[in-house]
Structure 1
Amino acid sequence: AAVLVVWVLAGLVTGMLGDRYRSQVARALDEAHRSRDALDRVVEATPSFHARGSTAAVARAICDAARATFGCDLAALFAIEGERLRLLARSPFLANTGDRLVMEPSPELQRELAEYLLPRFIADVRAPDSPRVPRAITSDPDQISAVRAPVLLDGQPVALLAMSWARPVPEPGRGELGVVQRFVEHAAVALAQAQRAEAQREVAALYRRFQTSLVPEVAVDVPGVAVATLYRPGERRMLLGGDFVDALARPGGRVAAVIGDVTGHGPDAAALGASLRAAWRALALRDTGLVETLRTLNRLTLDEGARAERGDPGFAMLATVCALEIDVPDRRALVALAGHPAPLVLGAGVTPVRLAPGPMLGLADDGEWAPRELLLPRDWGLFLYTDGIIEARLAPGEPARLGVAGLAAHVAGLWARQATSAADLAALVDALQEAQGGPLADDVTLLLVTSGRGGG
């Protein structure tokens, strides 16, 4: 009898243990299936926010994908900025909340995130002792359960994804939280790519604005005078250059013009170029003579060079300039050079002005920049340029350069065809680039002032 009882008890215990084991296995399998399904949805959803453009668009796509992947009722993505959270996006979007304006102090949440960098489940966000969740979640009285997941970059939380349900949900297993972790890893990559692309677009826009300030659209309101300009960046096109150009009308039918080139590339060269152009324009509007203008620009270059020297010993800032004044009614021009190539005079032929240049700006306190007077033909043109164009190679890999004589021959062809517009200048540079097999090494800036024949 005793043996029978033992057998019965053993059978009951075994059955109970088997049922418990089978239940645990069933739950584990169910969780595994849910995790696998969620992971499949992650794989399907992540391309949608990797393909978006701006950071705001990517953030919104991440929130939409989170709702679709995890079946939550609300998803919000926050940027972590110091001890504050900034709401980047929320799904569903609520127009009257001003998503991008919401800022939330979060020192306690920051400390919790620093201690626990993995996704965390909150059974009831309304409970006073529950882990902290951003107000974008808790301010909705319908939300009950939530998951918060730090978005990490180089091991540091840079954003926070919060998801919530308007009902109590069971605590997710380790595998399901692992899927959430996988999702935010994809989100981190997408956000970083979007922010990098956005920064590059901003830099490119700044580059264009800065370069436009150096080489603006130039027009002079003088009867019978046309002006055309061109700026073409060289191979180092993402480095700001120091080329600058300008022209303006003076009383009595006169025109003042300038072209210059600061040595080197980068922000310092561009800043000096912008300063020199602005200073020249102010002096020209005051009708300052060429010699005094170059002396003033030289002092400015020396001052900027000294400032740069203090920040970077051995770094010299120099500039070349060609400045001219044209008396249109009398067909006379004054030209002064500070280390710059002489302009070409266009008339019956095309010839460079014979004038020895004075010293470059920024070399010394004193310098002589004696101007030369030119008598212009009835149909005249003055072609000013930076040296990037005469350094063009005649053929790919050839050491021979275009030089001043080669440039004069090309300009003579334009002049003979009355091709004096900005588009014609662009076609000239295109032809030189095609001949050498690629972009010119240095930036090219051109300024053509004509007596109006052929249009501007």
Structure 2
Amino acid sequence: MLLVEDDDGDALLVEEHLADAGLDVVLRRARTLDEAMAHLDVDCVLLDLGLPDSVGLGALGRLLAAGAPAVVVLTGRTDTHAGLEAVAAGAQDYLVKGEVGGELLGRSVRYAVQRRLLQAADRELYRSKVRAQETVRLESALLPRPSVHDDRLQVLVGYRAGRDGVLGGDFYDVVQRPDGSVLAVVGDVCGHGPDEAALGAVLRTAWRTLVLADVPTPDLLPLLERVLVAERAREEVFTTMSMVEVAPDRSAVDLYLAGHPVPYLLGEPASGRPSSLLPTDRRGRALGIPVPGTWEPRRLDPDLLGPRWRLMMYTDGVLEATVGGTRERVGDAGLLAVVDAALREPVEDVVEDVLHEVRRRHGGELVDDTAVVVVGWAGAGA
């Protein structure tokens, strides 16, 4: 506790009152307001309003503005109006020296500290609610509902924030165009934090806008790179993406890679065909990296896909997860094994099963955030 009092007699009386109240306190004393400003790391301040360098409520205002904790005004002024003004200005209580005994002072100090703690808890609860609301708004921008209206096509999505619970720059989207073609994207802004999450939301929104505006598919990645360069907070920020365009008749798929992990062609447990990596012979650079290169599509035809195909796109959180506290990572081989095991269960659960199993192998929540999208024939492999 800090006592701000220039009168030695009054200071001694306060010490006696605190002893009578049975309060176990470490009492510091400051004779001036300037001296008190350097000792505000306490639970409660007893403040006299008549100090050598400050008279009146100005002292209270300065203490509160400097981050003082619970402040109880203890003064010789008996003006009731001044007491109301002090409480209105932020004091926890207003006590008159000649009317205070040990019991009253002790009770006032205890109540003041508890009220201050409750106020701090209320502020933190409010901040938590605001952060939660911001997270929901950001999630709605990063993690939209797929816009597909074809019962023949199955779309499954999943997302998990990293260990700290803060959204990163991973995003996804799936949209059907009027001609029946379906475009799906999974992207990952490098880094973690609010700037990266906001940029991911911008890129995801820009991608959907361009798709809905019927911008030709080969022009999407160049235009998104222009958005990235204009919106990124630092020049070194880049984004990896994988994008597919499914033909209206669902027989063929064009795959675009921009420095992103290669999607999987999911296996068919009934026929014994395992999941596998798609061809990578036309892998483009990441968006935002100032090196030559474009993004040419790789046509996945029926001979490669098979009659009842499904693709899985994902961000690198599932690949780079370590296994059981070791330095070993899940990697492509491990993830393919996880995927094939998940395909033995109902297909509708494959995304959740994959995310659950990777977390189990890791031994807890993943460090990096992760997005997973499965798109393909409904009922494939049945």
- SS at the partner of 2:99? coil
Cα shift at 1:334: 0.7
Partner of 1:386: 315
Cα shift at 1:36: 5.2
Within the candidate set 343, 367, 371, 1:441 is matched to 367
The yes-or-no answer on 1:192 pairing with 2:116 is no
Cα distance in 1 for residues equivalent to 2:368 and 2:79: 64
Cα distance in 2 for residues equivalent to 1:382 and 1:279: 24
Partner of 1:222: 150
Cα shift at 1:115: 8.2
Cα shift at 1:215: 1.5
Cα distance in 2 for residues equivalent to 1:160 and 1:347: 69
Cα distance in 2 for residues equivalent to 1:281 and 1:347: 29
Cα shift at 1:174: 4.3
Cα distance in 2 for residues equivalent to 1:115 and 1:343: 61
Cα–Cα, structure 1 residues 288 and 416, in superposed 2: closer, same or farther, change >3 Å?
farther
The yes-or-no answer on 1:400 pairing with 2:347 is no
- SS at the partner of 2:284? coil
2:21, 2:106 within 8 Å by CA — same for their partners in 1? no
- SS at the partner of 1:211? helix
Give the counterpart letter for 1:368 in structure 2.
T
- Superposition pairs for residues 311-326 of structure 1, below 5 Å? 316-326=236-246
Partner of 2:299: 373
State TM-score, norm by structure 2: 0.73
Cα distance in 2 for residues equivalent to 1:160 and 1:218: 54
CA offsets per residue over residues 81-135 of structure 1, 9 Å max, x none? xxxxxxxxxxxxxxxxxxxxxxxxxxx985373489643588674xxxx52625x
1:396, 1:437 within 8 Å by CA — same for their partners in 2? yes
Cα–Cα, structure 1 residues 161 and 399, in superposed 2: closer, same or farther, change >3 Å?
closer
Give the counterpart letter for 1:119 in structure 2.
V
Cα–Cα, structure 1 residues 289 and 170, in superposed 2: closer, same or farther, change >3 Å?
closer
Cα shift at 1:404: 1.6
CA offsets per residue over residues 233-257 of structure 1, 9 Å max, x none? 222323x300000011112322111
- SS at the partner of 2:155? strand
Q: Which has the higher contact order (CA 8 A, sep 6+)?
A: 2
CA offsets per residue over residues 348-375 of structure 1, 9 Å max, x none? 5322111242111000275310001112
Cα shift at 1:284: 0.8
Task: Identify the range of structure 1 (204-213 vs 428-437) with the bigger mean alpha-carbon deviation.
Answer: 204-213
CA offsets per residue over residues 344-400 of structure 1, 9 Å max, x none? 12355322111242111000275310001112322111110001111123x413332
- SS at the partner of 1:247? strand
Partner of 1:353: 278
Q: If you compute each CA radius of gyration, which structure gives the higher value, 1 or 2?
A: 1
Partner of 1:119: 73
Within the candidate set 244, 247, 265, 2:192 is matched to 265
Give the counterpart letter for 1:205 in structure 2.
Q
1:234, 1:440 within 8 Å by CA — same for their partners in 2? yes
2:21, 2:105 within 8 Å by CA — same for their partners in 1? no
- SS at the partner of 1:259? strand
Give the counterpart letter for 1:218 in structure 2.
P
Cα shift at 1:443: 1.1
Cα shift at 1:331: 1.0
Cα–Cα, structure 1 residues 282 and 36, in superposed 2: closer, same or farther, change >3 Å?
same
CA offsets per residue over residues 278-312 of structure 1, 9 Å max, x none? 1111111122233211101112222234xx23xxx
Cα shift at 1:223: 2.9
Cα–Cα, structure 1 residues 262 and 36, in superposed 2: closer, same or farther, change >3 Å?
same
CA offsets per residue over residues 137-179 of structure 1, 9 Å max, x none? xxxxxxxxxxx558xxxxxx7x344689xxxx99732432453
1:118, 1:149 within 8 Å by CA — same for their partners in 2? no
Give the counterpart letter for 2:356 in structure 1.
D
Give the counterpart letter for 1:413 in structure 2.
A
Partner of 1:294: 221
- SS at the partner of 1:207? helix
Cα distance in 1 for residues equivalent to 2:300 and 2:219: 19
Cα distance in 2 for residues equivalent to 1:420 and 1:219: 20
Cα–Cα, structure 1 residues 202 and 233, in superposed 2: closer, same or farther, change >3 Å?
same
Query: Gapped runs of 5+ residues in structure 2?
Result: 1-12, 24-54, 64-70
Partner of 2:340: 412
Cα distance in 1 for residues equivalent to 2:94 and 2:73: 11
Within the candidate set 337, 360, 379, 2:257 is matched to 337
Cα–Cα, structure 1 residues 404 and 162, in superposed 2: closer, same or farther, change >3 Å?
same
Cα distance in 1 for residues equivalent to 2:228 and 2:151: 35
The yes-or-no answer on 1:208 pairing with 2:159 is no
Cα–Cα, structure 1 residues 123 and 368, in superposed 2: closer, same or farther, change >3 Å?
same
Equivalent residue pairs, number: 317
Give the counterpart letter for 1:301 in structure 2.
L
State TM-score, norm by structure 1: 0.62
Give the counterpart letter for 1:343 in structure 2.
P
1:228, 1:420 within 8 Å by CA — same for their partners in 2? no
Within the candidate set 352, 357, 361, 1:431 is matched to 357
Query: Gapped runs of 5+ residues in structure 1?
Result: 1-27, 40-107, 135-147, 151-156, 310-314
Cα–Cα, structure 1 residues 347 and 435, in superposed 2: closer, same or farther, change >3 Å?
closer
Give the counterpart letter for 2:200 in structure 1.
G
- Superposition pairs for residues 63-74 of structure 1, below 5 Å? none
Cα distance in 1 for residues equivalent to 2:149 and 2:94: 63
Within the candidate set 66, 82, 100, 1:131 is matched to 82
